Amino acid sequence: MEIETKPDITYDKIGGLEEQIVEVKETVELPLTEPELFEKVGIEPPKGILLYGPPGTGKTLLAKAVANETNATFIKIVASEFVKKYIGEGARLVREVFELAKEKAPAIIFIDELDAVAAKRLKSSTSGDREVQRTLMQLLAELDGFESRGDIGIIGATNRPDILDPALLRPGRFDRFIEVPLPNIDGRKEILKIHTKNMSLDEEADIDILADLTDELSGADLKAVCTEAGMFAIRDKRDKITVADFMDAIDKVMSKTKEDELFKTEAGVMFG
C-alpha cells in the first residue's frame, strides 16, 4: 500500500473540479477539522464517500488534497491487492489497513478500483469468487464497526459504479457519491494552465485553442500532452515549446487513448 504522511497535492493543483472540491470539503474535510459542527447540529457525517468517473479525472488527487488540508496520513491501496491467492489473506489485509489508519489517525483511507472486491455478488462456486466475497464481507464489517469516525476518512474510487454491490452503498457505509467527470472546456483550460505554469512556451502557444482541441481528454491525458510537447522541444534542442509541439503531442496522446479504448473493447468481447 502507499502511505504518505502529508501529500503535497493541494486544491489549487486540481483544475476543473470546483463543485467536487466543495463536496469533498463538506463530507471529508469538515468532519476531520471541525467535528464539533456536526455535534452541535446533531448529525453524523458520512462514514464513507465514493468518487466515481472515468480514469484519469482526478479522483486520487482529490483524496490526496483532503489529506494535505487536514494534515492526515494518506493510506492508499488498490482494491485488487486485497484479492490474494491464500484463503483469508484478503480479509486480513482489510483489517490491517483499518488498524493502521487508527494508529496513524488522523488518516484518510483511499481504496482505488473498489469494484475489484465489491462487485455484485453472484451465485458462484469457484474458490476465487468465494475469496473475493470473504474480502467484501470483511470490508463491510470494518465499515459497520466504525463509530462516527471523527479522525478517519474513508474514500472509495471506481470507474464502474454500476457493478458495485448494493450492500456497500447503503447508508452507514459508502453513503455519499461524487461524480468526477471528464473536464469541460473551462476545466481543460484550468488544467492546462496548471501544467504549463512553469513551462517555457512560445508566444503563439494559445491555451484556449489547445483546450478546444482536446475534447474528451482527461486531466491525466492533458498532463501527458504537456509532457509530450516538452519532449518534442527537447528532442529538437529547443528551449521554447511551440504550437506544433502541442499539436504533435495531442495527436500522440489521442492516438494512445483510442488504442487503449480499442484494447479494452476487444478484451471485453474476448473475456466476456
Q: What is the pLDDT of residue 265?
A: 55
pLDDT band at 270 (very low <50, low <70, confident <90, very high): very low
pLDDT digits (tens, 9 = 90+) for 73-111: 999 999 888 876 667 788 899 999 999 998 998 899 999
CA dist., res. 226 & res. 223, Å (int): 5
Range with lowest mean pLDDT among 77-86, 107-116, 166-175: 77-86
Distance of CA 51 to CAs 203, 219, 267, Å?
38, 15, 25
Overall average pLDDT of the 228-242 stretch: 95
State the burial class of residue 202 (Cβ atoms within 10 Å of its Cβ: 0-12, 13-18, 19+).
middle
Question: Listing from the earlier edge strand, what are the strands of the sheet with 174-179?
Answer: 2-4, 73-78, 107-112, 152-158, 48-52, 174-179
Overall average pLDDT of the 167-174 stretch: 86
Whole-model pTM: value is 0.87
The overall longest dimension of the chain from CA atoms, in Å, is: 63
CA dist., res. 61 & res. 189, Å (int): 18
State the burial class of residue 247 (Cβ atoms within 10 Å of its Cβ: 0-12, 13-18, 19+).
middle
Whether 148 has a pLDDT exceeding 60, the answer reads no
Q: What is the pLDDT of residue 264?
A: 57
